Structure 1
């Protein structure tokens, strides 16, 4: 029985969700694997964990253009250069507990849904005495050069385009497998809209719009939702359901819960939920950011997307991919978002086509395909 260690990092929820998906899939399918998931940041200094886990979201949320600039600048530099001696010393102390854990756990393989687990200990992995192979699972539809490392034995990527990018960095074709991005087992099957809506208390025949707040600051989503509600009021003879998920943002939930929808709109506002899969089953279209995991989950549910103001960088690349393949519409600004909704309302055949395109590029069994390798 192979012993697998899954490593993630809390730099955005997607990396952790992908790792959890692998563990849950292995246990659901009763695969002959001993498998454990750890967050590498749990082994570091608390201040390092706090800064590292927050800096990405802070920059992307408050200064998206700066984030895009930094993303492209790092990409133009190509593969990571040798570390500064002072950084090497810091890493030796910061990741000492992490290295000790790997040696004590002694897995047959380490699967990484973030690049930090191998980037942090590159010098250790280069030593001839190191025997434990590392595998990389990029969680976006484009692969940044930070994911590429000579210590990685194999890459499991989302698409043929991502594989092409990895090969462009000098990785051999035999070291790349196109699997998709791992999603939880509940996203691998689809419940009928009628059944899902009944279980959620939604009316069966209303066009249902789902809005995910993840990645949006309260200064955006608390304006976006009223804008959509006001726009839908223009269609007096049609009835809609609008479902918003606020996650753990209590302030946002409290703000949106006070909204009064127009007479033709049934409005439901949720905080943190464990049934995103059922909400996707019940919905006709999803308004969201384009994080790699959210996109993969929606594709697995064959759910058309409207991507609102993606952050330049990986979100923008994800949005480009699903837009090019017809499964999503990319928008900028509230007026443009409402215009895209107008087209889908007035031309329902567009939604049907987008659903088919989502089905064509979905890879709901990515977690199983990755685990088969072991």
Structure 2
């Protein structure tokens, strides 16, 4: 293509992972100088009220009725793209997407969230636009799968094999890993580690347990685990509370006299803390799991909720990269075992290394560009299985 390639990347704000993946891809296309990518929250742009209601229901069902959310997820997991329910789900935003395409004239559509409205408007467009899906979990839901997807980019070779079993050829799948911010590809030197540790008031030669406050069912769980870790004088604990100011304030108050407990709000460079830490306690979202894998950071999970997060957790536990706990005491003992047993820690780190797919965002960007060049030269659509 002699001109600059134009792309639309479709995401949704059901959690931050889809946006983070979209942003990472957009940055890769721009930094590599190979395409101009615009990211769009299609549901928010087309149905703002419905989007806010949907996010509210999603959060509440996820937090208050997790088994209901899990039941819906598993019930629809094997739905076909031709089913009425799939057609209904993908129909939201179709008119807005048509307007965007007519205005922006993109060369392709990339999805980091499975809002596949494009096939529904192909006839109205009068032309076919290539479509690429970047799956942002370690679990495959059939909402991602459609005959008109030109290529899938997935987290693992196991997901590639799952797509193979659905009749999708290897030429339409690439196991790249999930796209992450470029900072996760950067290693810290010894001097950089010392500088980062000093910035947060940490000692780099003592183990650091990184706790993400959103990983717990309630504040009592977080407080109890912090309490257990705080009396371990040779262990440092750092808690990242994000935008939850009330939790941050309460933890500050409770652990102000414990020099080995550091409480933070939102952290932009979470990759630096991951590089310093000995392990992480978090929720098993696809992006967070990928970040931990890239940082070779053993993962601890507390009662993951049913749905894609529990399936992510179960997959990573089977691979030896994560440990699922049913109680705070079991979680605490598992962390102590990791910190005290070098062989166990080495085994988990090797499992993380086996799962690692470095520079996923750049490799996806380059491959999509290459696919578009091939398609333009052939002047025919890719053959679909």
Change (3 A) 1:202 1:80: farther
Change (3 A) 1:347 1:262: farther
The offset of 1:153, in angstroms, is: 1.3
Unaligned runs of 5+ in 2: 370-385
In structure 2, distance between residues paired with 1:156 and 1:78:
20
Bigger shift: residues 198-207 or 225-234: 225-234
Change (3 A) 1:216 1:20: farther
**Is the Cα contact below 8 Å between 2:243 and 2:266 reproduced in 1?**
yes
- Match for residue 260 of structure 2? 266
In structure 1, distance between residues paired with 2:151 and 2:240:
36
In structure 2, distance between residues paired with 1:324 and 1:171:
25
Count matched residues: 362
TM-score by length of 1: 0.89
After TM superposition, the runs of 4+ consecutive aligned structure 1 residues lying more than 6 A away are: none
- Match for residue 106 of structure 2? 107
2:235 to 227, 240, 244: 240
In structure 2, distance between residues paired with 1:91 and 1:323:
36
- Match for residue 361 of structure 2? 367
1:225 to 222, 240, 246: 222
- Match for residue 279 of structure 1? 273
**Is the Cα contact below 8 Å between 1:212 and 1:244 reproduced in 2?**
yes
The offset of 1:213, in angstroms, is: 2.3
Change (3 A) 1:250 1:262: closer
Once the two structures are superposed, residues 237-265 of structure 1 have per-residue CA deviations (whole angstroms, 9 ceiling, x without a partner) of x42211111111222222222222675x5
The offset of 1:84, in angstroms, is: 9.6
Question: How do 1:325-336 residues align onto structure 2 when only pairs under 5 Å count?
Answer: 325-336=319-330
Task: Supply the RMSD in Å over aligned alpha carbons.
Answer: 2.4
In structure 2, distance between residues paired with 1:82 and 1:121:
16
1:178 to 168, 175, 178: 175
Question: How do 1:1-374 residues align onto structure 2 when only pairs under 5 Å count?
Answer: 1-28=4-31, 30-79=32-81, 81-82=83-84, 91=91, 95-116=94-115, 118=116, 120-125=117-122, 129-192=126-189, 193-214=193-214, 216=216, 220=218, 222-233=219-230, 235=232, 238-260=233-255, 263=258, 266-373=260-367, 374=369
**Is the Cα contact below 8 Å between 1:230 and 1:262 reproduced in 2?**
no
Once the two structures are superposed, residues 81-129 of structure 1 have per-residue CA deviations (whole angstroms, 9 ceiling, x without a partner) of 03699x59x948x54233201221111111110011x1x3432136682
**Is the Cα contact below 8 Å between 2:238 and 2:262 reproduced in 1?**
yes
TM-score by length of 2: 0.87
Bigger shift: residues 291-300 or 313-322: 313-322
**Is the Cα contact below 8 Å between 1:12 and 1:56 reproduced in 2?**
no
Unaligned runs of 5+ in 1: none
Secondary structure at the aligned position of 1:152 is classed as coil
In structure 1, distance between residues paired with 2:302 and 2:163:
28
